């Protein structure tokens, strides 16, 4: 059974770059039938999709975060990563990585959401 | 990419049925079948309950069902049980291979 595990610093200073990694076990990240994504949840608030990537490195980002987000994949390590630059207190959140089943292609890939989630990792932005 | 609209809270007694709505636009909920629902208990990761409007993943109780009409999707839970008390989120595929979530609904089992 596939499992995802987030890792990275729990504390990041304002204006610096938040970096997280998601390690996939129990299956290959190189599967052509999935995308891989990051979702975050500020304390006491709802879920926010950040972006998605496939094994070839094709990426899609939330428009309001696009200028600060980079998602990358390392198939040799079965990992994908999130970098979020110029962070502020508003970026303090529980960050989840997840698997997104690919449902087909139109003008871009179609996916319905996330079927496997990591346990999440808390990132606090504070000096 | 505006958030989908869900009621902040709903409640019901054990054994009753409740419905949670999720309203978007023709650019997300109304335009695609890629609507899903998630259950989140406190301190836990979300769990997929419904995908593609009305499909249940293996292992999810058939007390959970989904539907869609126009720009509004709905999650219905029948035969409410205490363990159903949780936060519920909808999500939808939107344009340009993006996803959008609803604000979440807190379900209280009275």
DSSP calls for A43-75: TTS--EEEEEE-TT--EEE-TTTTTTEEEEEET
Q: Is some CB atom of chain B closer than 8 A to the CB atom of A122?
A: no
- pLDDT score, position A106: 84
The region, left, alpha or beta by phi > 0 then psi within -120 to 50, assigned to residue B70 is left
pLDDT-derived band at B2 (thresholds 50, 70, 90) equals confident
Q: Is some CB atom of chain A closer than 8 A to the CB atom of B24?
A: no
Residues of B in contact with A119 (CB under 8 A): 45
* pLDDT per residue as tens, chain A (127 positions): 999 999 999 999 999 999 999 999 999 999 999 999 999 999 999 999 999 999 999 999 999 999 999 999 999 999 999 999 999 999 999 999 999 999 988 888 999 889 999 999 999 999 9
- pLDDT score, position A20: 98
For A59, the closest chain B residue by CA position comes to B97
- pLDDT score, position B95: 84
CB B46 within 8 A of CB A114: yes
Contact A117 B46 (CB under 8 A): yes
- pLDDT score, position A107: 84
Indicate the burial class of A99 (C-beta count within 10 angstroms; 0-12, 13-18, 19 or more).
Answer: buried
Contact A60 B52 (CB under 8 A): no
Would you call B104 helix, strand, or coil by DSSP?
Answer: coil
- pLDDT score, position B105: 98
- pLDDT score, position A53: 97
Contact A47 B38 (CB under 8 A): yes
- pLDDT score, position B90: 98
């Amino acid at each position: 059974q596939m499992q995802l595990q987030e890792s990275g610093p729990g504390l990041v200073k304002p204006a610096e770059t938040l970096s997280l990694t998601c390690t996939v076990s129990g299956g290959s990240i190189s599967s052509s039938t999935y995308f891989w994504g990051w979702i975050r949840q500020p304390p006491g608030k709802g879920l926010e999709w950040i972006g998605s990537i496939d094994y070839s490195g094709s990426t899609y980002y939330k428009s309001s975060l696009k200028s600060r987000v980079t998602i990358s994949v390392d198939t040799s390590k079965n990992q994908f990563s999130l970098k979020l630059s110029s962070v502020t207190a508003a970026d303090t959140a529980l960050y989840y990585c997840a698997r997104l089943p690919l449902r087909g292609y139109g003008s871009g890939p179609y996916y319905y959401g996330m079927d496997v989630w990591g346990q999440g990792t808390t990132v606090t932005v504070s000096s | 990419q505006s958030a989908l609209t869900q009621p902040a809270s709903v409640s019901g007694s054990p054994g009753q049925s409740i419905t949670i709505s999720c309203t978007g636009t023709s650019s997300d909920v109304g335009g695609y079948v890629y609507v899903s629902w998630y259950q989140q208990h406190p301190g836990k990761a979300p769990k997929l309950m419904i995908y593609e409007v009305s499909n249940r993943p293996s292992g999810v109780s058939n007390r959970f069902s989904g539907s869609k009409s126009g720009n509004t999707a709905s999650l219905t839970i029948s035969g409410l049980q205490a363990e159903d008390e949780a936060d519920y989120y909808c999500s939808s595929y939107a344009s340009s291979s993006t996803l959008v979530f609803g604000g979440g609904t807190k379900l209280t089992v009275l």
